[in-house]
Amino acid sequence: MHITSAETWVEQVREVGLRATPGRIAALRFLAEHPHSTAAEVHAGISDDLPSVSMQSVHNVVNDLSARGVLRRIDMPGTGGARYETRTADNHHHMQCVICGRIEDVECVVGHAPCLTPSQTHGMHTVLSADVTFRAVCTDCAERTEQAALAHAAGRGADAGEPRAADALPEQSTPASAVPPAPTTRSSPRIPHNSEASTGGTHG
Ligand SMILES: [Zn+2]
Ligand SMILES: [Zn+2]
């Protein structure tokens, strides 16, 4: 993934006739590093640096930027809520793990919309686009499921002191919020203790 500098985002925002407010730039930078995030995830991600930016204004930011093509809005089936990404105008598609919710980009072979021709047009004048979502099971989830099945088959005899494998299966479809420790380029080295505590919701 290429890193786009803040200056580039400032230019892009101004090019579409918007002011390059700190909230807009922060949202773009966050989404460049965490594509396919929801507005709530963007808000959580930027509120450390911009505590005054409200959830409502993040909604406004992603709506405005999507409307002007700086962001692309995607709606993944069954995940509830729109997601946003800075990769626009290449008509790429998405593949999502149905268990953990992880979303990955899939290149469009054609590269522009519409990349599929419907078998019937039903009298529609123009086909604008075809949104393809590949539903999948990721390798991690497949392995977890396999282990759980094996543990189940082995019955309760296996006394390995491990917690029951079923506990390891994620029940909710919370996307494994890819939150790698943010590369801090600040001078003051922060102690990285639970900086995501407010967003996590990891119970025991
Ligand atoms: Zn998965
Ligand atoms: Zn994408």
Nearest Cα neighbor of 25 from 41, 46, 1 is: 46
Domain boundaries 1-89, corresponding CATH code = 1.10.10.10
**In this predicted structure, what is the pLDDT of residue 183?**
44
164 vs 29: CA distance, rounded Å = 40
Measured in Å, how far apart are the chain's first and last C-alpha atoms? 33
Could you list the mean pLDDT of each consecutive 10-residue stretch along the chain, which spans 204 residues? 73 96 96 96 96 96 96 84 92 93 92 90 92 92 91 68 47 44 44 43 43
φ and ψ of 85, to 5 deg: -150, 155
Q: What is the pTM of this model?
A: 0.68
Number of the ligand closest to the Cα of 178: 1
* C-alpha 35 – ligand 2 centre gap (Å): 7
Whose tokens are 């989404």? That residue is 31
Is residue 103 within 8 Å of 96, Cβ to Cβ?
A: yes
Q: By C-alpha distance, which of 66, 70, 67, 56 is closest to 14?
A: 70
Name the packing angle between helices 55-67 and 22-33 (round to 10°).
Answer: 80
Q: What is the pLDDT of residue 50?
A: 95
Rounded to whole angstroms, how far apart are CA atoms 9 and 150? 49
203 CA from centroid of ligand 1 (Å): 19
pLDDT of the residue at 180: 44
Ligand nearest to the backbone CA of 145: 1
CA of 136 to the centre of ligand 2 (A): 15
pLDDT of residue 73: 95
Using the mean position of ligand 1's atoms as its centre, give its distance from the Cα of residue 43 in Å.
24
- Which ligand minimizes its atom distance to the CA of 84? 2
User: What is the Å distance from ligand 1's center to 101 Cα?
Assistant: 6
Q: Which residues surround ligand 2, an ion (CB under 5 A)?
A: 85, 105
Which of 61, 141, 58, 54 lies closest to 97, judged by CA? 141
How far does residue 197's CA lie from ligand 2's centre (Å)?
Answer: 27
Q: What is the pLDDT of residue 3?
A: 56
**CA–centroid distance, residue 78 to ligand 2 (Å):** 16
Domain ranges of the chain: 1-89, 91-176
